[in-house]
Amino acid sequence: MESVTDDIRQLVADMAETMYEAPGIGLAATQVNVHRRVVVIDVSEDQSALMALINPEILERSGEQVCEEGCLSVPGIYEKVARAERVRVRALNAKGEPFELDAEGLLAVCIQHEIDHLDGKVFVEYLSALKLSRIKGKLAKKARITA
Show binding-site residues for Fe cation.
71, 113, 117
Helices (H), the chain: 6-21, 105-118, 129-146
Active site residue 114: yes
The span from the CA of 81 to the CA of 116, in Å, is 13
Task: Give the whole-angstrom CA distance, residue 71 versus residue 63.
Answer: 23
Please state, in angstroms and as integers, the Cα–Cα distance from residue 45 to each residue in 1, 9, 48, 49, 74, following that order: 31, 24, 8, 9, 22
Catalytic residue, candidates 68, 79, 114, 125: 114
Is 110:123 a contact under the CB 8 Å cutoff?
no
Annotated binding-site members: 71, 113, 117
Tell me the β-bridge partners of 52. 40
Residues designated catalytic: 114
